[in-house]
Structure 1
C-alpha cells in the first residue's frame, strides 16, 4: 500500500526532528566544531562519490549546457533582486526596516551548493549541470554580491569588499573531492553504481547535518529573541512569499523554455536557493557589526525554509520518476 499523498515521508520527518533537536539542544563550543567538521567530511564524501559516479561525457555535457546555466544565474542574481525590490510595498509593512534590508541582502546572495546538489540528486535531476551551475554561482557570487549590495541594498552609499579566500575553500571542499572521485572512477565506478543506497545515504545525511549545524548556530545567535513576535511572523510570511515565487517562476520558465524534467529539477533547485555559508561571512564584511544580526536573520529563516520545502519537492520529483519507470516497464 502506498503512502497517502499528504502524509510526510520519512526524510521530511527526519528533517523536522533535526530542527526540533537543534532548537532544544543546539550544538555549541567544541560540539559545534565537531559537527562542522563532520559536515565538511560528509560533503566532501558526497562530491567524491558523485565524481566517481559521473562519466566524462556527462560532465562535459553539464559544462556545455549554457542555456540552463544562464537561466540559473539569471534567477539567482536578477530575478531575486527584482522580486525583493518590486515587492517592497507588500514586504516592508510586515517587518522592520532592518529586516527588510536583510531580505534584500538575501536576494543578492549566490546559490547554496551542497543542498542544491544533494536535492538534485535525490530528485534524479541533471547532476553534472547542477554541480557546474551551483559551484559557479558561488564562485561568481564572491564578486557579484558586493556589487549588488551597493546597487540594491545600499543604493545611497556604503562600501563592500570581499575576499578570494572563499574561492579556495570552495575548490578545496567541493571540487577537489569531486576530481579525486572522478579520477578513481575506473577503479571504483562500477562498485559505486551497484550501491546506489550509499549515495542516497550520503545525500540525505549531508542535508541533515547542514540543517542541524545551521539551525544550531541560528538558535545560539538568538534566532527567537532578536525580533518581536509579530515581526518574526511577518518575516516568515515574507520568506515564504519570496521562496514560493522563486520556485514557481523557475519551474514555469523551465517548462516554457522547453527544458526536460531532469533539467527542470536542476533549474528549480539551483535557481531558488540562497547560501547561508556564504551569506553570513559576507555580511560581517559588508555591514556594520551592530546591524549584522538583524540583516542575516531573514537569511537564516529562509535557509531553513528552503531546506524543508525543497526536501518535500525532491521527494515528489523522485516519486514521479519512479512512477514513470514503472509505467515504461509495464508497457
Structure 2
C-alpha cells in the first residue's frame, strides 16, 4: 500500500491529465457540431499558448546569449541539427515495426525546441549553470518558433502535405500571438509572474484540450484499430535509444569543447529535451488533422521518458558535485 502511494506521489499530474484526455477522447470523441466547436476552441487555445510563451520568454536574456555563443550555439546545434539527423535515421525502420504515421511522429519530435521548466529545474538539481540554462532554454524556444516550422516544411513537408496554407496558419496561430506577447512583455510579464499558478493552469489546460482534440479526431479515424501494442512498444524502444544517443553526444561534446562542469550540465539537460508544451500546439498547425493523434504519440512517450531518466541523472550529478560548484557566467 505504501509502495502504491509512493508511486502515485511520483506521477506528474500534468502527464496524468494528458493520459486522461486520451482516455476520454477514446471513449467520448467529439463528433459533428461538437467537433466543429472544438476545432475553433483549439485555434484560440493555441493562440493563447503562444501569446503566453511570448510574454514569458526573456528576449533580453536570449539576445545576451550571443556573448556565450559557444555554449548556446552548441545547444542549438544539438537541438536543431543533431536531433533531426537522429530523427531521420528512425525513418529507416521498416513499416512492419513502426507504422508510417508513428515514424513521422518520431521525426516531428526531433524537430522541436527544448523544454524550459524541466531543463532549468534539472540543471539546478545537478548543480549546473542555472542562469545559462535559463538563457539556453529560452533561446531554443525563441528559435524554435521559426526553425521548427522550417524543418517540418523541409523534412516532412512532402509527407504531411505542408503548403502555402500551412505558412499562413503558422503566421496567424503561432508567430502573430508570439510576437504580440514579446511586444507586450514589458507590461504583462509582472502580472504573469504574480499570477503564475493561474497562467500555468490555463496553458496546461490548453495543451490538454489540444490533446483531447487530436485524439478525438484520431479515434473517429480509427487510430486504435491501426496502432498495435507492438508498435507502441517499438516506439518506446526507439525513444529510449534516441534519448540515450543524445545524452551520449552532449556528454561527449561538453568534454570535447572544454566546457566547465556547470556548462556541461546545461548542454546535457537542455540539449536532450524536447518540449511537449510547444510541440502539441505546433502539431495542430503544422500537421494534417487526420494524422495528429498518431504523430503526437511518440512525443508524449518521449516526454515522459526524458523526465524520468533526466531526473535520475540530475540527482546523481548533484549528489556527486562539490558543495559549492563554480558557476560559469552566461
Structure-1-length-normalised TM-score:
0.69
User: What's the secondary structure of 1:73's corresponding residue?
Assistant: helix
Q: Say which SS state the counterpart of residue 274 (structure 2) adopts.
A: helix
Aligned to 2:84: 77
Contact 2:105 2:297 in 1 (8 A): no
Contact 1:251 1:264 in 2 (8 A): yes
State the match for 1:136 in structure 2: 147
Structure 1 equivalent of residue 328 of structure 2: none
Q: Distance in 2 between matches of 1:315 and 1:66?
A: 26
Tell me the CA shift for residue 22 of structure 1.
Answer: 0.6
CA RMSD of aligned residues (A): 3.8
Preserved contact between residue 120 and residue 265 of structure 1 (Cα < 8 Å): no
**2:102–2:294 Cα contact (<8 Å) kept:** no
* 1:23 aligned onto 2:23: no
CA distance in 2, matches of 1:143, 1:218: 25
Distance 1:300 1:68 in 2: 29
**What are the ranges of 5 or more consecutive residues in structure 1 without an aligned counterpart?**
150-159, 285-292
> Does the 8 A contact of 1:48 with 1:177 survive in 2?
yes
Q: Tell me how far apart the structure 2 counterparts of residues 61 and 198 of structure 1 sit (CA, whole Å).
A: 29
The 2-side partners of 1:168 and 1:62 are apart by 30
Does residue 177 (structure 1) correspond to residue 177 (structure 2)? The answer is: yes
- Please report how far the alpha carbon of residue 53 of structure 1 lies from its aligned counterpart in structure 2 after TM superposition: 2.8
Which residue of 1 is the match for residue 49 of structure 2? 46
1:59 to 54, 59, 62: 62
Question: Relative to 1, partners in 2 of residues 1:314 and 1:21: Cα closer, same or farther, differing over 3 Å?
Answer: same
Q: CA separation in 2, counterparts of 1:22 and 1:263?
A: 37
Distance, in Å, in 1 between the alignment partners of 2:15 and 2:103 is 29
| Residues matched between the structures, number | 284
SS of equivalent residue, structure 1 residue 270? coil
* Residue 271 (structure 2) aligns with: 267
1:47-98 deviations in Å (ceiling 9; x for gaps): 222322333322324686332222122244311122332xx4xx55546xxx
Check 1:106–1:303 CA distance in 2 against 1; reply closer, same or farther (3 A cut).
Answer: closer
Unaligned runs of 5+ in 2: 121-132, 255-262, 325-330
Residue 21 of structure 1: how far off its partner (Å): 0.5
Distance in 1 (CA, whole Å) between partners of 2:102 and 2:55 is 38
Q: Tell me the residue number matched to 1:155.
A: none
* Aligned-pair CA distance for 1:183: 1.4
Deviating more after overlay: 16-25 vs 268-277: 268-277
Q: Residue 257 of structure 1 is aligned with which of 246, 253, 258?
A: 253
Change (3 A) 1:40 1:236: same
- Identify the residue that residue 156 of structure 1 maps to in structure 2: none
**C-alpha distance in structure 2 between counterparts of 1:200 and 1:316, whole Å:** 24
Q: Is the 8 A contact 2:87 2:110 kept in 1?
A: no
Contact 1:12 1:308 in 2 (8 A): no
Q: How far apart in 2 are the matches of 1:271 and 1:11?
A: 13
Question: TM-score, length-normalised on structure 2?
Answer: 0.69
Residue matched to 2:218: 218
